[in-house]
Amino acid sequence: MYDTAPCPATCEKSACTCADNYVRHEGTCIYWGDCPDIDSHFHDGPSTNHTVEIMHVPSASVDVPMQARTTSTTSSTITSSTEHLKCAINETVVECGRVCEADCVSIFTRSDCDDCGSPACACMQGYARNPQGICVYWGDCPVNNSAATTSTTTASTTRKKVEKPTKLKVGGDVCYGDFRYPTGCSDCDYKLSWNYVEDSDDIEFSLETKLMQNSWTGLGLSKDGSMVNADMMIVKSFGGVLSLHDMYSHGYGAPSKDQQQDLFTPNVIGTHANGVLRAQFLRKRKTGDKNDKSFMNECWKMMFPVTGGKLDESGNITAHIETPLVTETEVCIRSCREQKADNGELV
């Protein structure tokens, strides 16, 4: 991982390699941040005057013959051919060029690609070239491009959608609850739980979701389950830093940040590693902010952005990748002792 020498453009058969942001250590793929003695490598100065960007080629993984590295002529030729390349945003130098680059059509019907051309600028891992020739995040590709495939393409090759359960319900009681997607999962794509703390009148939220870096996730509240007049509790992961944002949505545009911020955490917000974001935060059952939905005497439908959304280069929220899932009925959060008293039970 610390070797910045360019990889010779020599390809053999397709094979399994570590996923993006993972490296092999003692035969096992681990998250690069978990590598031993990583701090010492970051503090070491560069050995040459040129910095070569290491790139995960957006194509099938290949094995590189080790004997190819013994030829110094090959290495120097590749280095000299890539030094002059200046790539556009979301692009980087790829030793095999664009022959295996994804575009907004082929990304939905990808197959192994073992071809290799001349070094050139190509889309970064997770990005695809749109019809205008610009590399964009694959989730931002026009949906109708997936229909431009050949007649042999079946529905199973199109972009995977979040399948809405027939009846979307949450588990628990009025003083605690949780939602999981997929239903009944243990290794969930999205899991949110909440707990009412009677002594402080706080609601504790705990969120765990599979999410890419520089993305957002969270929870929405509204009366009818739409984005109109919706209360938004957002967690951003931007540049490796997590942050909480109390927001409000007037309609279907980008939500605006509340002047009064009512989300807080007594400790750290959480972590975002290995593609999984874990966060915990609190909010009063009634904050006094007109933009916040109060749970004192009212109940609300919950909206779960199970796939989250991307942040732009300034860290601003962009549209969610998939339409959030909405609870079938309204959710109430209050004391379980109050609930028992209302039912005539002894408290």
Q: Token pair of 163, please? A: 């399948």
Asked if the model's pLDDT at residue 109 lies above 50, the reply is: yes
pLDDT attached to residue 2: 55
Domain 171-338 has CATH 2.60.40.1210: yes
Helix runs in the chain, H state only: 38-43, 72-82, 336-342
Please compute the mean of the pLDDT values over residues 113-120 and round it to a whole number. Answer: 83
Q: Count CB neighbours of 180 within 10 A.
A: 19
Q: Percent of the chain beyond pLDDT 90?
A: 41
Q: Cβ(196)–Cβ(173) under 8 Å?
A: no
Please compute the mean of the pLDDT values over residues 302-315 and round it to a whole number. Answer: 94
Q: How far apart are CA 228 and CA 222, in angstroms?
A: 8
pLDDT attached to residue 155: 35
pLDDT attached to residue 118: 86
pLDDT attached to residue 70: 41
Please compute the mean of the pLDDT values over residues 306-314 and round it to a whole number. Answer: 94
Q: Where are the domains of the chain?
A: 22-157, 171-338
The pTM assigned to this predicted structure is 0.54
Q: How far apart are CA 232 and CA 262, in angstroms?
A: 11
Q: Cβ(97)–Cβ(78) under 8 Å?
A: no
Under the banding of pLDDT at 50, 70 and 90, the label for residue 281 is: very high
Out of 89-98, 138-147, 233-242, least confident range: 138-147
pLDDT attached to residue 147: 40
**Bigger pLDDT: 83 vs 212:** 212
Residue among 14, 29, 93, 97 nearest 61 (CA): 14
Q: How far apart are CA 28 and CA 23, in angstroms?
A: 8
pLDDT attached to residue 303: 96
Under the banding of pLDDT at 50, 70 and 90, the label for residue 175 is: very high
Reported as a single tens digit per residue, the pLDDT across 31-50 is 666 777 655 554 554 444 44
CATH number of 22-157: 2.10.25.10
pLDDT attached to residue 214: 95
Tokens 């005057």 belong to which residue? 49
CA geometry: angle 167, 170, 173, nearest 5 deg: 135
